[in-house]
Structure 1
Amino acid sequence: MKIGFIGTGSMGSILIDAFIHSGALLPTDMVISNRTIDKAKQLADKHTGLEVAKSNIEVMLKCDLIFLCVKPKEYKNVIDEIRTISLDSQIIVSITSAVLIEHLEEWLPCKIAKVIPSITNYVRSGATLCMYSERMLEEDVRVIEDLLAYISKPLRVDEAYTRICSDISSCGPAFMAFFLQKFIDAAILKTGISRELATELASEMLYGTGMLLTSGGMDPTTLQQKVSVPGGITAEGLSMMENELDGMFIELVHTTHAKYEEELAKVKSLF
Structure 2
Amino acid sequence: MNIGVIGCGNMANSIVYSITKRQKHQIFCYDVDILKAEKFNNLYGATILMSESEVVLSCDIIIIAVKPKDIFNVLKKIKGLVDNKIIVSIAAGISIDRIKDMIGEKKIVRVMPNVNISVEEGILGMCFSESIVDSEKEKIKELFESMGKVIVVEEKSIDAITALFGSGPAFVAHFIESYIDAAVKLGFSKQESYDLVLKLFYGTIVNMKNNMLTTHQIKDMVTSPGGTTIEGLVEFERRALKGAIIDGIVKAYERSKSIL
Fold match (TM-score > 0.5): yes
Aligned residue number for residue 18 of structure 1: 18
Matched, 1:44 2:41: yes
2:194 to 194, 199, 203: 199
Aligned residue number for residue 91 of structure 1: 86
TM-superposition CA deviations, 1:11-63 (whole Å, max 9, x none) = 11221223233x1345xx2111112121111222223x221111111110111
Aligned residue number for residue 57 of structure 1: 53
Say what the alpha-carbon RMSD is for the aligned residues: 1.9
CA distance in 2 between partners of 1:96 and 1:213 (Å): 33
TM-superposition CA deviations, 1:204-232 (whole Å, max 9, x none) = 22223333454542333333333333433
SS, match of residue 4 in structure 2: strand
Aligned residue number for residue 242 of structure 1: 237
Q: Aligned pair in 2 of structure 1 residues 64, 169: CA closer, same or farther (>3 Å)?
A: same
Aligned residue number for residue 3 of structure 1: 3
Normalising by structure 1, we get a TM-score of: 0.88
Aligned residue number for residue 147 of structure 2: 151
Residue identity (%): 28
CA distance in 2 between partners of 1:209 and 1:182 (Å): 17
The AA in structure 1 aligned to 2:70 is E
The AA in structure 2 aligned to 1:31 is F
Matched length: 258
Q: Aligned pair in 2 of structure 1 residues 161, 243: CA closer, same or farther (>3 Å)?
A: farther
SS, match of residue 106 in structure 1: helix
Aligned residue number for residue 184 of structure 1: 180
**Greater Cα shift, 249-258 or 178-187:** 249-258
**Greater Cα shift, 60-69 or 38-47:** 38-47
TM-superposed CA distance for 1:146, in Å, is 1.1
SS, match of residue 98 in structure 1: coil
The AA in structure 1 aligned to 2:39 is Q
CA distance in 2 between partners of 1:24 and 1:221 (Å): 41
CA distance in 1 between partners of 2:35 and 2:182 (Å): 41
The AA in structure 1 aligned to 2:201 is L
CA distance in 2 between partners of 1:159 and 1:219 (Å): 30
SS, match of residue 97 in structure 1: coil
TM-superposed CA distance for 1:65, in Å, is 0.8
The AA in structure 1 aligned to 2:17 is D
CA distance in 1 between partners of 2:116 and 2:195 (Å): 18
Q: Which runs of 5 or more residues in structure 1 are unaligned? A: 267-271
TM-superposed CA distance for 1:246, in Å, is 4.9
Aligned residue number for residue 82 of structure 1: 78
Aligned residue number for residue 120 of structure 2: 124
The AA in structure 2 aligned to 1:240 is E
Aligned residue number for residue 269 of structure 1: none
Aligned residue number for residue 163 of structure 2: 167
CA distance in 1 between partners of 2:203 and 2:29 (Å): 36
CA distance in 2 between partners of 1:206 and 1:25 (Å): 35
Aligned residue number for residue 213 of structure 2: 218
CA distance in 1 between partners of 2:38 and 2:27 (Å): 13
The AA in structure 1 aligned to 2:5 is F
Q: Aligned pair in 2 of structure 1 residues 181, 73: CA closer, same or farther (>3 Å)?
A: same
Matched, 1:32 2:25: no
